[in-house]
């Protein structure tokens, strides 16, 4: 991703004229290495999911470029992009809304296979049964409807659908946030197992920082449409440099009563500014406990302060 931007128009009046834009994603640049899990974290509404969908070209980027294996996705025509979609898929956040209630599970999982001409008829049915076994569901479930399953089972069906075309890259858009805690670990362990078996690359979008630490290799922190810090997982969790990342990680509970007793939480004041009218300079300055005059006047540069550790802050 190079300077990726996605703005949504704000329209008003009888003629629905554009009166502004929502700065959902506002110039983010990073790379995801083949075979790794890249975690993207931040508060709700910071642009994580929009970034993931723009990367997959489900949303057309306002500016910037996305390269997949050296191919500029934004430069592809419709038929070329359709071929590329076999190599990249998405697991949606809500397992209750992402499955068509009028389609049987077998039809849902096998739809992509037949659409792309990979298999037809009996071959599709056999592939669907294999996929359901891969995600640890009974192959006989192919003839049932989504309403007959629990949330965790539906998310497994969503994973099977994403795996159907044997993709190399999968965007996991908060895959466990709608599930019970007891089921979350099962789904995460399934994703890790599938990655090891199939050599998958993940972009893991989440606000669950403990889970991201458990599964990710590198982590990027987003705030109000921009990246504020990016580093290797352990480096970020042990030595966060940006004030927002420090505040975010201070809220993660530590499973050790002695350490937890003496930890100091960083409580941010105020609310997240509107993405329709982001602050000048550093976007975090209105809530930052250490902001200076310079922070309101200059946009902090996105720079590498240590090998593999990037940050956007004047004070680092």
Determine the pLDDT at residue 15.
86
Tell me the average pLDDT of the chain: 89
pTM: 0.90
Convert the pLDDT of each residue in 60-90 to its tens digit.
999 999 999 999 999 999 999 988 988 999 9
The 3-state DSSP class for residue 223 equals strand
Domains, the chain, in order of start with CATH, read: 32-61+70-216 (3.40.50.300), 227-316 (no CATH)
Mean pLDDT of 305-314: 93
State phi, psi for 205 to the nearest 5 degrees. -95, 125
Instruction: Label each residue of 229-274 as H, E or C.
Output: EEEEHHHHHHCCCCHHHHHHHHCCCCCCHHHHHHCCCCCCCCCCCC
The structure tokens listed for 93 are 């956040």
pLDDT digits (tens, 9 = 90+) for 113-155: 888 888 888 999 999 999 999 988 898 898 999 999 888 889 9
- CA angle, 262 then 268 then 270, to 5°: 155
Q: Which residues pair with 20 in a beta bridge?
A: 10
pLDDT digits (tens, 9 = 90+) for 153-207: 899 999 999 999 999 999 999 888 878 887 888 888 889 999 999 999 999 999 8
């Amino acid at each position: 991703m190079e300077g990726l931007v996605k703005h949504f128009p704000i329209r008003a009046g009888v003629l629905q004229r554009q009166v502004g834009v929502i700065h959902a994603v506002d110039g983010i640049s990073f790379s995801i290495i083949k075979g790794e899990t890249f975690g993207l974290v931040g508060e709700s509404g910071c642009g994580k999911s929009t970034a993931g969908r723009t990367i997959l070209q489900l949303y057309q980027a306002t500016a910037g470029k996305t390269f997949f294996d050296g191919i500029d996705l934004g430069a592809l025509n419709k038929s070329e992009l359709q071929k590329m979609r076999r190599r990249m898929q998405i697991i949606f956040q809500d397992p209750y809304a992402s499955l068509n209630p009028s389609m049987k599970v077998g039809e849902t999982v096998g739809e992509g296979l037949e659409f792309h001409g990979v298999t037809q008829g009996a071959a599709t049915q056999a592939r669907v049964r294999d996929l359901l076994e891969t995600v640890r569901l009974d192959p006989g479930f192919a003839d049932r409807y989504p309403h007959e399953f629990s949330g965790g089972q539906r998310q497994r069906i969503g994973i099977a659908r994403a795996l159907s075309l044997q993709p190399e890259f999968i965007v996991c858009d908060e895959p466990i946030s709608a599930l019970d805690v007891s089921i979350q670990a099962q789904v995460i362990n399934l994703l890790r197992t599938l990655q090891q078996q199939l050599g998958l690359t993940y972009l893991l979008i989440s606000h669950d920082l403990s889970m991201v630490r458990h599964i990710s290799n590198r982590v990027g922190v987003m705030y109000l449409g921009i990246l504020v810090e990016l580093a290797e997982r352990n480096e970020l969790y042990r030595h966060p440099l940006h004030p927002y990342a420090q505040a975010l990680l201070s809220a993660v509970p530590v499973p050790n009563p002695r350490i937890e007793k003496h930890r100091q939480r960083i409580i941010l004041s105020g609310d997240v500014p509107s993405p329709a009218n982001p602050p000048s300079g550093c976007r975090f300055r209105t809530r930052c406990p250490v902001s200076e005059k310079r922070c309101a006047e200059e946009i902090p540069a996105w720079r590498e302060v240590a090998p593999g550790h990037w940050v956007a802050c004047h004070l680092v």
